[in-house]
Structure 1
Amino acid sequence: GPIHLGGTRWAAVGDALGRILSTQGAEVTREYYFNDHGAQIDRFTRSLIAAAKGEPAPEDGYAGDYIVDIAAEVQKRAPGALDLPEAERHETFRSIGVDLMFAHIKRTLHEFGVDFDVYFHENSLFESGAVDKAVETLKGSGNLYNADGAWWLKSTDFGDDKDRVVIKSDGNAAYIAGDIAYFQDKRSRGFDLCIYMLGADHHGYIGRLKAAAAAFGDDPDTVEVMIGQMVNLVRDGQAVKMSKRAGTVITLDDLVEAIGVDAARYALVRSSVDQSIDIDLELWASAGNENPVYYVQYAHARLSSIARNAADLGLSAEGANLALLTHDREGDLIRTIGEYPRVVAKAAELREPHRVARYLEELAGAYHRFYDACRILPQGDEEPGDLHTARLALCAAARQVLANGLGLLGVSAPERM
């Protein structure tokens, strides 16, 4: 279905983390894992067929306007699809419907400023035989055993809290079978660190994914699992409950429509992923200093205005004597600017992009206080002096760091507001 708020948080955090890791010399590949195999896709397909027939969604199916829209588009592309024999009808709605849904997801992410290097399809692991191969490898190593007609991973041998079913007693693969094959696939492509970004209900995956790595004789530290907590929208002090488009959940599109891309990305990145967050729609849509993204962007716009005004006066920061910057507010701003490399390095090390957002707010605050206390450009008939030049250099540095930090978060640095 459409990307819900939890997934939207990972889009913002993951993209920022990729950018931050790149600053530290990492070669980063951003990969989106499409769950296009198994029961979820079957329910999705049956929901499309029901919508095409004008019937309510199946009890375990998906509801929402997007299902109706996709069902109508399937029928445009495959006229008479409803009249096909049952198996053929199911496959027609499945294949076209999945393609349409994924196209929507990619388009939505792109508009959010998030593009992936690889779109990986879970189903490809089954079609290619990668799942069967992974299962046979684990059987051969003795790390898979048969009990009650099912095949179990000896995950407790590798620190998990219980053994996990890989092949169920009915012969069908459990969800973890695809996860195991996917890990092997990533490692075979040369990645020495695999960072998984999963939802709040996936805590159990930390142990099982690390155990799967160890069962292959790999280092469990090649797997890192980040668990993202819930996101809630609030308006007028009340929780916003649902989206008509998606039926039961609020989506990325809903959030962007309410507060815009920049505010949405900043709001989602600003807090540790370990914390649930409430996004106050009125606050994040406002043009005031209480809105953190406005506060940071306004500092950049103000600095850009100073640069334009200086250029109009024929002033530049070239040859600035920085020893003249002795005011307390100048010192505060210089020290805050100097913290930037350390903050980014720590954000990369701890996988915590929110450190960059919080730092930018500190930098914007230091700049606003400096601006209030120190005259930057000459006024009236005042002749430009060395102190003006030095302060222009300080402003240029602050502007550059604000732009760099906003860029790491995927947020724009406007020159006018």
Structure 2
Amino acid sequence: MANLVKEVKTKLAAEISAALEKSQDAGDLSLAEIPEIMLEEPREEAHGDYATNIAMVLAGQAQRAPREIAQLIVDNLADLDLIAQVEVAGPGFINFYLSDQWLYEAVETILEMGDDYGSSHLGQDKKVQIEFVSANPTGPLHIGHSRGAVVGDVLANIMSKVGFDVTKEYYINDAGNQMELLGQSVALRYQELFGAEVELPENSYQGEYIKEIAEKIKNEYGKEHLSKVETENYDFFKEFAYQRLLENIENDLREFGVEFDNWFSERTLHNQGLIKEVIEDLKEDGYLYEREGALWFKSSELGDDKDRVVVKEDGSTTYLAADIAYHQHKYQRGFTEVINVWGADHHGYVERMKAVIEALGYQREMLEVIIVQMVTLLREGKQVSMSKRSGDFVTLQDVVAEVGKDAARYFYIRRSVDSHLEFDLDLAKKESTENPVYYIQYAHARICSILAQPEIKELDLESDFKLNNLTDEAELKLMQQLARFTEELEKSAESRAPHHIARYAYDLAATFHTFYNKCIILGEEELLMLSRVSLVLATKQVLCNVLSILGVSAPESM
């Protein structure tokens, strides 16, 4: 487990604190306390690798000019191999220029850790549930679901890598009006196959997949279930369609590289009386009241814009009632944090659920909702139309079939979830460096080609050699990029921003391509070849690790 950047910053901070203590012991400074030392990367490379403003922070307390305090710190710093140069700049910043030794050690660490490089204990085994996709099993997954699937899956991979105990869950909305409507839609299409003229309700499901399900029923059962349509008994059709569609959803997600630890059925909440139980609890706690024959949740008292119905006048429960019971069940399973990945149409639902969490007796912060914005598909620069109700929509399967799993996953994750995504199908299929997926995978394939050379295979990489002849700017930049991996993972986990890792993969590939074009490997003297091949091997390892997290393959040839 190694966050190499954090280790360097921790060492620097410790040395700054030690220098301040020396200044106090010598009577040069009088401080009541030494605050946390903050180190930042300067915007300009000329200002060093790290800088701190601690001298300015302490100026009021010490009653000394910031530059004087900064100089005292510099004068009392220990002679470290880590620091190549240090200077006082501007109004009192201290700029640190690191020696290259830590980068050589970073390469050695990567080669030693292998697949484990990037791992850390940040999460401390905290139990986290990430619920995502959770589309109604009433039709195929469309492109909006696809984006949420990749966001949830990659975030789970990132958080697992840095030490969280993550469970990925799909909530199956298999109860309620939409399921009844599914059964009716299939039943009418089934009746139509036997020559009946049917009129589909305006809000029915009308995609081709409904006709295909009806056709399967006809092929399996013939006319056996026609009487059920005539008596408006749609239960058989509902269950038949439900099982087929859920199976298709599972298969589509599996082929897309998304597998869940748990599939939770909404019916469980009804069958086990969990909805009734949680309603009674909320009523007892004073969070529910009756009005106009319905039972209302006092969500407006807990941050929502208005109160919400949980039990209708006819005694049936609302979707909110099921969601309350479902989230209660999540926390009862021991999750200390729940992350829901929802589509843009759920934006107004967030405060409602935060109110629910508080009413259930948990901290609002124990629920985090990630809203994933819409996706627009582009082909030849024009938007591909999509309408779910009419059945004319682009499915996850359609996109994967057209551009491949790797390109689809990367394009869905490459932008922040809070921004609308334009998915350029033509770009995703290009076999050129314009295509970011191709560009990243080509870096790995290029490395495999290098390592396959006979001259490279003959090198004794187990021999005792040093990496300190790697001094070219392109080499140093590549080592710095490799060393950042764990910190990038930790930042992405903490900020719940998986797109940062997609960007990191691209930046790493770009840095490697620059190194490859500038630094010759074959034909150099043996020690330099050994060092550069070690750097190439470390790059290959990190590329494999980051692509694994993204769920994208690492091809050996392109």
TM over 0.5: yes
2:327 paired with 1:183: yes
Number of residue pairs matched by the alignment: 413
Counterpart residue number, 2:208:
65
Matched letter for residue 185 of structure 2: S
Q: Deviations over 1:72-92 (max 9, x none)?
A: 223344441122375684111
Counterpart residue number, 1:399:
540
Counterpart residue number, 1:44:
182
Counterpart residue number, 2:337:
193
The correspondence of residues 220-369 of structure 1 with structure 2, limited to 5 A, is 220-242=364-386, 247-309=391-453, 313-318=457-462, 319-369=464-514
2:163 paired with 1:20: no
Name the SS of the counterpart of 1:184 in structure 2: helix
Name the SS of the counterpart of 1:323 in structure 2: coil
The alpha carbon displacement at 1:244 in A equals: 10
The alpha carbon displacement at 1:57 in A equals: 3.7
Q: Deviations over 1:31-82 (max 9, x none)?
A: 1111111111111111101211224542111112111111222334444112
Q: Deviations over 1:295-314 (max 9, x none)?
A: 00000111111122257641
Please say which structure displays the higher CA radius of gyration.
2
Matched letter for residue 277 of structure 1: L
Q: What stretches of structure 2 of length at least 5 have no aligned partner?
A: 1-138, 193-197
Counterpart residue number, 1:415:
556
In structure 2, C-alpha distance between the alignment counterparts of 1:88 and 1:57, rounded to whole Å = 13
Contact map agreement 2:204 2:389 (CA 8 A) in 1:
no
Name the SS of the counterpart of 2:377 in structure 1: strand
Name the SS of the counterpart of 1:31 in structure 2: strand
In structure 2, C-alpha distance between the alignment counterparts of 1:408 and 1:304, rounded to whole Å = 20
Q: Which residue of 202, 205, 208 corresponds with 2:346? A: 202
Q: Deviations over 1:214-271 (max 9, x none)?
A: 1011111111111110001101111111489982321101111111100000000111
Counterpart residue number, 1:146:
290
2:165 paired with 1:4: no
The alpha carbon displacement at 1:24 in A equals: 1.4
Give the CA RMSD over aligned residues. Answer: 1.8
In structure 1, C-alpha distance between the alignment counterparts of 2:203 and 2:293, rounded to whole Å = 27
Q: Structure 1 stretch 352-361 or stretch 311-320: which is displaced more? A: 311-320
Contact map agreement 1:2 1:246 (CA 8 A) in 2:
no
Matched letter for residue 187 of structure 1: Y
Contact map agreement 1:65 1:245 (CA 8 A) in 2:
no
Q: Which has the higher contact order (CA 8 A, sep 6+)?
A: 1
Contact map agreement 2:144 2:343 (CA 8 A) in 1:
yes
In structure 2, C-alpha distance between the alignment counterparts of 1:25 and 1:395, rounded to whole Å = 28
In structure 2, C-alpha distance between the alignment counterparts of 1:248 and 1:130, rounded to whole Å = 37
The correspondence of residues 368-407 of structure 1 with structure 2, limited to 5 A, is 368-378=513-523, 384-407=525-548
Contact map agreement 1:66 1:246 (CA 8 A) in 2:
no
Matched letter for residue 252 of structure 1: L
The alpha carbon displacement at 1:344 in A equals: 0.6
Using the aligned pairs only, state the percent identity: 44
Q: Deviations over 1:321-366 (max 9, x none)?
A: 2101000110111111111111110111111110001011111111
Q: What stretches of structure 1 of length at least 5 have no aligned partner?
A: none
